[in-house]
Amino acid sequence: MKERITITLDKDIMKQVDSRVDGTKIKNRSHAVEFFLSKALGSNTIKTAFILAGGKGTRLKPFTYEIPKPMIPVHGMPILQHVIELFKRYGINEIIISIGYKGDKIKEYFGDGIKFGVKIRYIEEDPDVPLGTAGPLLLAKEFLKETFVMTNADELKDIDLDDMYRLHKESKAMATIALTTVEDPSSYGVARLKGSQIVEFVEKPRREEAPSKLINAGLYILEPEILKYIPDGKKEVKIENDVFPKIAKMGKLFGYPFSGQWFDTGTPENYEKAIKRWQGLK
């Protein structure tokens, strides 16, 4: 519920407020003032990030014989560190990392996170009993009591998380998926949208039959309520296949298309491309 107030501001401050009004992200002066106050007070923002870093990285052998995929370097630091830097930029300092294969290498490098300016908590999977992309969330449910962001640890991405969060809240979504554009979507799950609402993902459509060129970028804003829809007791649960379709049927799954950088580093070819083209966070 919102309340109307009257305030008097210095002209120079008013110019800064007006400069943020673009009619889309920031609709008017009132919206701009609310945006600045929310950021300054730290209210209505995401505080916790959950990072999936337990996979074996089989497609990146032989690199992953000795180090886990999230620790493979790009421009002098591990991919996982780039991910954490993105969260730090948006004031997300509580980090939960799900580790499995060679997780000790991740713990040894990042420790409790203090030297990286964050607080890191680890949950550990059995490398021989993978829990998929949703199962690890159940191991951390006691720490996921508020809206949180979840991401894969093997992708480089530059996303405006403040704007994505705004869409998530205005849509009253249970889950919002970051969507990136690819020229040929035939190798991916492609989003079919109705406005910002995701109706379904069409798996590997023929290029000419794809409902869009928007694919899952591996980053989500989620409400704790989503944990109720993760099957318990099943060894491997994929959030993409076992959870999101349920949310879509409820009309609670939304998409956030973004134009920032996105690189999947899961194959030697994609890893090479990331090294050459990743420009760091803007």
- State pLDDT tens for residues 86-102: 999 999 999 999 998 88
User: Is it the case that residue 205 has pLDDT exceeding 90?
Assistant: no
* Weakest-pLDDT range from 34-48, 183-197, 224-238: 34-48
pLDDT in the model for residue 272: 87
Contacts of 151 (CB under 8 A, 6+ apart): 49, 50, 51, 52, 83, 157, 218, 219, 220
- Give residue 2's pLDDT: 58
- Tokens 């493979």, residue located: 72
Phi and psi angles of residue 277, each rounded to the nearest 5 degrees, phi first: -110, -20
C-alpha span between 167 and 190 (Å, rounded)? 20
Look at residue 13 and tell me whether its pLDDT is greater than 70.
no
Of 50-59, 117-126, 219-228, minimum mean pLDDT range: 50-59
Residue 53 sits at the vertex; the CA angle it makes with 49 and 55, to the nearest 5 degrees, is: 150
Q: What is the mean pLDDT of residues 147-158?
A: 94
25 catalytic, yes or no?
no
pLDDT, tens digit, 9 for 90 and up, residues 27-64: 566 655 655 555 555 545 899 999 999 887 677 677 77
Q: Name the DSSP letter for residue 101.
A: T
Query: Whole-number mean pLDDT of the chain?
Result: 85
pLDDT of residue 280 exceeding 60, the answer is yes
Confidence of residue 21 (pLDDT cuts 50, 70, 90): low
Give the mean pLDDT of 149-172.
94
**Band of the pLDDT at 246, cuts 50, 70, 90?**
very high
pTM of the model: 0.84
Indicate the class that CATH gives domain 45-277.
alpha beta
Instruction: Please report the pLDDT score of residue 12 as a whole number.
Output: 66
270 pLDDT above the threshold of 70: yes
- The domains of the chain are located at 45-277
Contact 215, 182 (CB under 8 A): yes
Tally of CA atoms within 13 A in the half-sphere of 242 that contains its CB: 17
Of the candidate ranges 77-86, 160-169, 243-252, 268-277, the one whose mean pLDDT is the lowest = 268-277
Q: Phi, psi at residue 256, to the nearest 5°?
A: -120, 95
**63-72, 77-86, 154-163, 271-280: least confidently modelled range:** 63-72
Confidence of residue 4 (pLDDT cuts 50, 70, 90): low
Q: How far, in Å, CA of 66 to CA of 41, rounded?
A: 44
User: Among the options 47, 172, 204, 249, which is catalytic?
Assistant: 204
* pLDDT > 90 in the chain, percent: 51
Say whether pLDDT at 17 is over 70: no
Q: What percent of the chain has pLDDT over 70?
A: 85
The strand pair at 119-124 and 94-99 is best described as parallel
Residue 25 has pLDDT above 70, yes or no: no
How far is it, in rounded angstroms, from Cα 252 to Cα 219? Answer: 16
